[in-house]
Structure 1
């Protein structure tokens, strides 16, 4: 009996060692991986991330399955990581809104300590659009109307405390105007709303491009460092006198405690997937570019961004209890 007990104990102790050896030998992944993204199907994030996932599937030898989890300003995937097993089989998109949570919402986890940052992949190109038949022909018209009608100019975004919402509020503050914000779950719903006249304007990533090209929307401004090739007539915020550039980088995170070997495997696969022409082309549809950050650099970016976002939240008076 004693010998049997010793053998069972030895076998039990060997399991972690065998597990580590399996990681080292590259047996991960042995089953499909779930990639949770923060916005609904059919929008720019969904389309580009599905392209990335398809490429990564071929590299990893297992399907990378996209699951849409819209709402809560794009933070639900990060929250889902808090209850996921730290084995690499659940990963999530980390939009910039995740770094604001500690200042705007009561949470029992830390956006830095409780997420393993795998890789940054891209960032959005943003702007403000109005219906093509709107009397607001340019940004000067927009500001003039808002000043004459405080709080009556409605605009939609992809959610409360998202980059489109906060940046528009920052611009409004600098312009001395008051707007009425209407949140939507994603670009697809938002575009239906602005084209249908439910809101007077929309602040969004360039998922609005197809509606602009179809003659249904007009671009009033864009938020990058320079004008977008696709909309050369739309001035940047900097050209309009606001010292603001917003492209909202995002990447992929895993649960806290994910083995380093697994993180490395995921990083390497997604990095290679980013370099595939199909992904670059998918991004180009929305004036987005690959924006690679390694696991270490992405972690540092997250730490730095949390400090910057606190300044923005405080400036807009949106901190908890304010």
Structure 2
């Protein structure tokens, strides 16, 4: 066949040739998704958030029929993904994990975007089971011991979190105020750094999501109290804050968002794919491992939830005396 016949049939005679670009462009403009999807997670690899999202990504690779990769961007209380979505392409291939800390940004940083209106919410996934743990060898046996020690040693009892102005940090501030004690906050970039610090004796306690579960089960950590509405079935002897006179409940739900302006049909495809992935065994198993439960909301309801949380976080920050720029 002559070259013009190859061209007429849309077959290139050289890699990258003009004739070959036609079928390539056609393939790239196919139905969404036709290339890997990235989820940015604002915590270090190995923490409970990272592990849960990786299980979701594994399941979503099947439901979306495309590879889903996790990219860790730790630090700043998990808000980096939401910030980076402000400049990411609105094509559905870059998603971010939205955590409770994001709703505080308008009050602690000088940002030019609004978490309620400048993200396209895909779906809410789950929420944390929070608690306070100490090393198993600690002389502190109960939450009452914890508060008693703090009263006897003002400012000495240290606790680790995954960052300043995170949910753990602010909740611990509320706890300390209600209990009338002063604690020593030691922020890390993520749970994966905080756990070795606790086990190594560099901090006296840790406030975090149930990534401590396996360590409690193995006898390496002692769980003192949980922040949920009710006791956890797995640890029926561990009281809630409310039972001990601290009027607080904290679960801080989180989920996925895309850059503002992502096409509605793309959002729907993402929603449906990840919603189906939530029913996969690998995802249900990881939630059960860390005593978490699904807290699903569709994108519209999740956006309304975000707006409500921004108001709530403002009230909490003001009550604790936080000012713009951080603690």
The question of a shared fold, defined as TM-score above 0.5 by the shorter chain, is answered with yes
Deviates more, 1:249-258 or 1:270-279: 270-279
Is residue 239 from structure 1 mapped to residue 236 from structure 2 by the alignment? no
Is residue 145 from structure 1 mapped to residue 149 from structure 2 by the alignment? yes
How far, CA to CA, are the matches of 1:190 and 1:229 in structure 2? 26
Is residue 105 from structure 1 mapped to residue 100 from structure 2 by the alignment? no
How far, CA to CA, are the matches of 1:282 and 1:139 in structure 2? 27
Deviates more, 1:291-300 or 1:102-111: 102-111
How far, CA to CA, are the matches of 1:142 and 1:60 in structure 2? 47
1:82 is matched with: 86
1:229 is matched with: 233
How far, CA to CA, are the matches of 2:295 and 2:152 in structure 1? 41
How far, CA to CA, are the matches of 2:106 and 2:324 in structure 1? 9
1:313 is matched with: 317
Is residue 41 from structure 1 mapped to residue 41 from structure 2 by the alignment? no
Large movers: runs of 4+ above 3 Å: none
Give me the TM-score of the superposition, normalised by structure 1.
Answer: 0.91
2:266 is matched with: 262
1:319 deviation in Å?
2.5
Secondary structure, aligned partner of 2:224: strand
How far, CA to CA, are the matches of 2:219 and 2:231 in structure 1? 20
CA offset digits 1:58-85 (Å, max 9, x no partner): 1111111100111001100101101100
Structure 1: which 5+ runs fail to align?
Answer: 1-18
Matches within 5 A, 1:103-252: 103-252=107-256
Number of corresponding residues: 300
Give me the TM-score of the superposition, normalised by structure 2.
Answer: 0.89
How far, CA to CA, are the matches of 2:86 and 2:136 in structure 1? 43
How far, CA to CA, are the matches of 2:143 and 2:272 in structure 1? 43
Structure 2: which 5+ runs fail to align?
Answer: 1-24
CA offset digits 1:135-191 (Å, max 9, x no partner): 111111111111111111110011111111111110001000000100111112111
**Which is greater in Rg?**
2
Secondary structure, aligned partner of 1:65: strand
1:109 deviation in Å?
1.5
How far, CA to CA, are the matches of 1:106 and 1:150 in structure 2? 33
1:215 deviation in Å?
1.1
How far, CA to CA, are the matches of 2:56 and 2:271 in structure 1? 12
2:293 is matched with: 289
